[in-house]
Structure 1
Amino acid sequence: MNSLTDRTPVVRRRTPLNRSQIAGFWGAWAGWTLDGMDSFIYALVLTPALTELLPRSGYAATPANVGLAGSILFALFLVGWGLSFIWGPLADRFGRTKVLAGTIFTFAIFTGLAATSHNVWELAIYRFIAGVGIGGEWALAGTYVAESWPEDRRKMGAGYLQTGYYAGFFLAAALNYTIGVHYGWRAMFLTGAVPVVVAILVLLRVKESETWEKADASAARAKPLREILGPTYRRRTWVACILLTIAIIGLWAGAVYEPSAVIQLATKAGMAKNDAIRTASLATGLLSISTILGCLALPPLAERIGRKKTLAIYFFGMAVAIAGSFGWAFYLPNGLAPFIAWLCVLGFFGGNFALFSLWLPEQFETRVRATAFAFCTSFGRFVGAGVNFLLGAAVLHMHTLGVPVALTALAFIVGLFVIPFAPETKGEVLPQ
């Protein structure tokens, strides 16, 4: 006869987080949130900023010129993101928290300076340098959380962390709905200087990752870039680069053009300028909320069916959503409501970025982890910059932004054939 204790179900208790782990997470999350806010401010103020600055730079502010200049400036911003690779080796050598604070400080200062732009060239320089800071934050925040949280909570920590970026989208939309509409695009850029405070708090309050501290001696002797491109890691490094490139091309093409597309559809529907801007802000808010849901749904799915199958589902969803929104709904006679509905689908599957926060740290040892994360993300941003130049040229040539953006769905189809070459790390612990 079984005893009472034999019949009592076993309750699995998660390892509790200590104060340092909680503070570290919120520091990383806040930086990632403000990073997302900063990067999306540009998408929201693209049209009004360039409408004012193009004539001051000697160009007519036609829709085609605004689209082309917007793509060029965003491409330069992505090049800055690509150069953010420099933060990875610094973090592997000097620690995660100090360098994380440096990335936040950099993007905050130069976003604030963008408010002082007198022409498109000054705006381009400020956004380029801000991109260098913004690009480094994800790699360092993701590495820090992966290393500092206990193994049984690390996977959900990656999903929680990634919500910060899209909470930043939502925050940017809320600021545009209030400050942007009433005070203009310069005031929006000024709000981007606020993260300086977060950088100081990260530097003073957040303790260094114990995992990194234990590996500090070997990190000093390591040559991380040579290692991740050497025989041990070469294949997984390049496969991760390709998959991240696809994710960046697709989501950013959709996200950066989403406000302009909504403004065009709202104007076509008869809305006044300010009402169209408010509608774009509301649509961005919906995009952000749905992406946050996609981030939260991803880690449990990745734990159940594996990393590769989860990414395949999200990539397929992105391909369908981009084609449905920009390739179909954008061209309907009354396409505003269907387009916004498709944005919710696009947002959910855009949560695929949470998988990389979970998956990349699992593929590399501590002494090269930040370098690998930064290298893979930077590679994708360089290619994304080139794609944005092509998108800008296509928008100018075709006199529409719908079809060029819709064609980026093909990148996700290519990604489905690349995923099988990646390593499956389901059930494995973080390598030391």
Structure 2
Amino acid sequence: MNSLTDRAAGARHRTPLNRSQIAGFWGAWAGWTLDGMDSFIYALVLTPALTELLPNSGYAATPANVGLAGSILFALFLVGWGLSFIWGPLADRFGRTKVLAGTILTFAIFTGLSATAHNVWELGIYRFIAGVGIGGEWALAGTYVAEAWPEDRRKMGAGYLQTGYYAGFFLAAALNYTVGVHYGWRAMFLTGAVPVVCAILILLRVKEPEKWSKTEAQAVRSKPLREILGPTYRRRTWVACALLTIAIIGLWAGAVYEPSAVIQLATRAGMTKPEAIKMASIATGLLSIATIIGCLALPPLAERIGRKKTLAVYFAGMAVSIVGAFGWAFYLPNGLAPFIAWLVVLGFFGGNFALFSLWLPEQFETRVRATAFAFCTSFGRFVGAGVNFLLGAAVLNMHTLGVPVAITAVVFVIGLFIIPFAPETRGEVLPQ
């Protein structure tokens, strides 16, 4: 009883947030939400967009060509994400908030331009540059919240921040259910450019974190990329790269093909095309809600059992749920309901990304933190781009998307053997 009383008293006496910290969080959260919305808009409009653009590019809009072209374009998008590591050194040198605003502005403009594409080549260019902007948002938002929020609140702040990405998934699904069904894929891309102005206005009025301001003079002389690959940080940098690569492969294998899988299952169940699209939106909404719950459940678990054990739990859950959804339910005669049920489980454990928002800042000092965060996430996206291309080729050759996606569960098993090499930072304060 006393421990419960102490815990309740601790919750009541948490350090209050000032106006700048609150505004900065909501600006970062809004940017991350729009980031998630932008990313998932592509998955939702993949089939209708390519069905229109492939004939304009000289290719038949067959299911096989749509699948292959979609994977190639998504691989380009991930390469753009990978190149986003350039934002990290800029943020370590010039500050978190203004560079974060620059990433949001970049992906907003080129998401809007995607609505004007006349062929797959133009769409590929726009998505590539949008990826460069989107890729930097997470690293800078995560770094900002970790540095700006008080020590006793930043762990839950990481969980709250990560919910934004999946709130963006939910928002994209809601827009697809309304705007997409009635006005088409071009209108969906346009929605990705509209609300971003609010996030930029907020971020431009927010103060830089005090931790960064104290190291600003050091940042002018430091070479953060060389430092994170040097003797001090080399091991934790490469272990973090490997773990993030695994998380990214699993997230995108499931998320990108989830709408297509639901549409196929809904069509097989006798639904019309509009009904199948709406069902994909509903399934995506459930996936998003489950992931938000997974994000919020993660920080308390990481504080109780540690960062490494928490990631192991979430990775094991991802492996099981990917196989359950794509390897089993997808092939059932009446698999729509079981598939969506497994999607909810997959969504919960997809909240593993919240751990990286909490854990990565704890592993690096302030002068190199944004560079390390951006480098580790970018490395995973480069590898993810290659895996996504191979996955598209496998879907084309096997004439099914279930088994190829289910095979990606293997990477989470590999991840369980890599986790022990990472540092355990539970109970440690954010290094200066």
Amino acid at match of 1:334: N
> 1:202 offset after TM fit, Å?
3.3
Does 2:172 match 1:177?
no
Instruction: Provide Cα deviations, 1:137-182, integer angstroms capped at 9, x if missing partner.
Output: 0000000000000000010000000000000000000000000000
Aligned to 1:360: 360
Aligned to 2:160: 160
Check 1:227–1:375 CA distance in 2 against 1; reply closer, same or farther (3 A cut). Answer: same
Does 2:285 match 1:278?
no
Distance in 2 separating the partners of 1:285 and 1:431: 37
Aligned to 1:23: 23
Amino acid at match of 2:330: F
> 1:204 offset after TM fit, Å?
2.9
Instruction: Provide Cα deviations, 1:223-244, integer angstroms capped at 9, x if missing partner.
Output: 0000000000000000000000
Aligned to 2:62: 62
Contact 1:31–1:195 (8 Å) recurs in 2: no
Aligned to 1:3: none
Amino acid at match of 1:265: L
Contact 1:31–1:198 (8 Å) recurs in 2: no
Contact 2:31–2:196 (8 Å) recurs in 1: no
Distance in 2 separating the partners of 1:335 and 1:200: 43
Distance in 1 separating the partners of 2:377 and 2:293: 23
Secondary structure in structure 1 of the residue aligned to 2:425? coil
Distance in 2 separating the partners of 1:63 and 1:9: 59
Distance in 2 separating the partners of 1:211 and 1:285: 37
Contact 1:109–1:196 (8 Å) recurs in 2: no
Aligned to 1:425: 425
Distance in 2 separating the partners of 1:206 and 1:119: 40
Distance in 2 separating the partners of 1:312 and 1:47: 35
> 1:219 offset after TM fit, Å?
1.1
Contact 2:158–2:354 (8 Å) recurs in 1: yes
> 1:200 offset after TM fit, Å?
3.0
Aligned to 1:191: 191
Amino acid at match of 2:261: A
1:213-232 equivalences under 5 Å are 213-232=213-232
Distance in 1 separating the partners of 2:333 and 2:228: 51
- Aligned-pair identity (%): 89
Count of residue correspondences: 425
Secondary structure in structure 2 of the residue aligned to 1:152? coil
Secondary structure in structure 2 of the residue aligned to 1:151? coil
Distance in 1 separating the partners of 2:206 and 2:130: 23
Secondary structure in structure 2 of the residue aligned to 1:231? coil
Contact 1:97–1:202 (8 Å) recurs in 2: no
Instruction: Provide Cα deviations, 1:367-397, integer angstroms capped at 9, x if missing partner.
Output: 0000000000000000000001100100000
Distance in 2 separating the partners of 1:49 and 1:19: 43
> 1:210 offset after TM fit, Å?
1.0
1:28-47 equivalences under 5 Å are 28-47=28-47
Distance in 1 separating the partners of 2:299 and 2:167: 18
Unaligned runs of 5+ in 2: none
Amino acid at match of 2:123: L
Aligned to 2:74: 74
Amino acid at match of 2:29: W
Check 1:391–1:9 CA distance in 2 against 1; reply closer, same or farther (3 A cut). Answer: closer
Contact 1:95–1:212 (8 Å) recurs in 2: yes
Aligned to 1:5: none
Q: For the aligned residues, what is the CA RMSD?
A: 0.9
Aligned to 1:399: 399
> 1:205 offset after TM fit, Å?
2.0
1:78-227 equivalences under 5 Å are 78-227=78-227
Aligned to 1:312: 312
Distance in 1 separating the partners of 2:198 and 2:384: 28
Amino acid at match of 2:16: P
Distance in 2 separating the partners of 1:406 and 1:109: 35
1:339-350 equivalences under 5 Å are 339-350=339-350
Amino acid at match of 1:66: V
Aligned to 1:237: 237
Amino acid at match of 2:59: Y
Contact 2:139–2:374 (8 Å) recurs in 1: yes
> 1:50 offset after TM fit, Å?
0.4
Distance in 1 separating the partners of 2:264 and 2:380: 29
Aligned to 2:370: 370
Contact 1:105–1:199 (8 Å) recurs in 2: no
> 1:198 offset after TM fit, Å?
2.9
Does 2:415 match 1:415?
yes
Instruction: Provide Cα deviations, 1:108-164, integer angstroms capped at 9, x if missing partner.
Output: 000000000000000000000000000000000000000000000010000000000
Contact 2:34–2:196 (8 Å) recurs in 1: no
> 1:251 offset after TM fit, Å?
1.1
Contact 1:104–1:195 (8 Å) recurs in 2: no
> 1:208 offset after TM fit, Å?
1.1
Distance in 2 separating the partners of 1:9 and 1:107: 45
Aligned to 2:300: 300
Instruction: Provide Cα deviations, 1:283-306, integer angstroms capped at 9, x if missing partner.
Output: 000000000000000000000000
> 1:321 offset after TM fit, Å?
0.4
Contact 2:104–2:200 (8 Å) recurs in 1: no
> 1:199 offset after TM fit, Å?
4.4
Aligned to 1:252: 252
TM-score by length of 1: 0.97
Distance in 2 separating the partners of 1:147 and 1:390: 38
